[in-house]
Amino acid sequence: MNISGQQPAAAVITVDGPSGVGKGLVTRWLAQRLPGWYRLDSGALYRILALAAQSRAVALDDEAAVAALAPALDIRFTGATETDEAIWVDGENLTAQVRLESTGTLASRIAVLPQVRAALLQRQKDFRKAPGLIADGRDMGTVVFADAQLKIFMDASPEERAQRRLKQLSEQGIAAKLAPLCEEIRARDARDRNRSIAPLKPADDAELIDTTGLSPEAVIARVDVLLQQYGLN
């Protein structure tokens, strides 16, 4: 209890940055390191809403109609590792569809709409529970959890992110070409960074990690140091 008789809000660590920058690596590692902490993959909420609009033939630029779909969706995340994580929407396992590159592009189109962002705001805040929350996305540290204890902002060059994505896809047996992937990443970045509402940018008090040329181990070592510095270990 604090002085006003309210429970203090649970701790939050935010991990923001563009797609393919390694946020998944960091959030999974944090979740292992901080047992019992909850996770919010906020991009998945935008992806799920975009899929719901598409499957109901709602135009993606019909702001009010897309936003109106948000409250009724029953969304559940299960599993904790890359291989057993699953995303359930209204009882159906939509993991593969949600993760498609094309779904990410649809999500970034609806993410520019203020009513859509407002409709998802409280749903995101509801994930905040003791002992703590690890939240990743674009505006976790700037808007949704502006009072987070630790804010991490990750970045890397579009070329490097496209290379990593190509490797991931080929490991899944999916053929892709570097140039169009890089183009898609640049277009999505431009939309996410230049939109007028909640653009992708570091919070003033964020810790910046440029992962260009860094191994996963080196990235994790940086995050580990931050946990110590912020007394979150």
Ordered alpha helix ranges (H), the chain:
23-33, 42-55, 63-69, 95-99, 101-110, 114-125, 158-171, 178-194, 216-229
Taking the complex as a whole, how short is the minimal distance between the CB of residue 138 and ligand DC, in angstroms? 4
Which one among 13, 14, 37, 43 touches ligand DC, defined by CB under 6 A?
43
Q: 220, exposed or middle or buried, with CB in 10 Å at 0-12, 13-18, 19+? A: middle
Q: Which two tokens stand for residue 89?
A: 């929407």
Interactions with ligand DC, residue window 119-158 (CB under 6 A): 137-139
Q: Which two tokens stand for residue 8?
A: 């203090």
| Piece of 25-33, 37-45, 87-95, 219-227 that binds ligand DC (CB under 6 A) | 37-45
Q: Which residue's C-beta sits nearest to ligand DC?
A: 43
27 binds ligand DC (CB under 6 A): no
At residue 208, φ and ψ (nearest 5 deg) are: -90, 135
- Residues 148, 32 contacting (CB under 8 angstroms): no
46 binds ligand DC (CB under 6 A): yes
Closer CB to ligand DC, residue 53 or residue 111? 111
Which one among 70, 89, 94, 107 touches ligand DC, defined by CB under 6 A?
107
Taking the complex as a whole, how short is the minimal distance between the CB of residue 122 and ligand DC, in angstroms? 14
47 binds ligand DC (CB under 6 A): yes
| Piece of 42-50, 68-76, 87-95, 169-177 that binds ligand DC (CB under 6 A) | 42-50
69 binds ligand DC (CB under 6 A): no
17 binds ligand DC (CB under 6 A): no
162 binds ligand DC (CB under 6 A): no
111 binds ligand DC (CB under 6 A): yes
Q: Which whole-number Å values give the CA distances from 179 to 55, 73, 171, in the listed order?
A: 30, 36, 18
Closest to 164 measured CA to CA, from 17, 19, 14, 16 = 19
161 binds ligand DC (CB under 6 A): no
**What does the alpha-carbon distance between residue 208 and residue 151 come to, in Å, rounded to a whole number?**
9
188 binds ligand DC (CB under 6 A): yes
Taking the complex as a whole, how short is the minimal distance between the CB of residue 168 and ligand DC, in angstroms? 13
Q: Tell me, what amino acid is at 57?
A: A
**What does the alpha-carbon distance between residue 66 and residue 117 come to, in Å, rounded to a whole number?**
10
Closer CB to ligand DC, residue 71 or residue 114? 114
**What does the alpha-carbon distance between residue 46 and residue 117 come to, in Å, rounded to a whole number?**
9
- Which residues here bind ligand DC, judged by CB under 6 A? 19, 42-44, 46-47, 104, 107-108, 111, 137-139, 188, 192
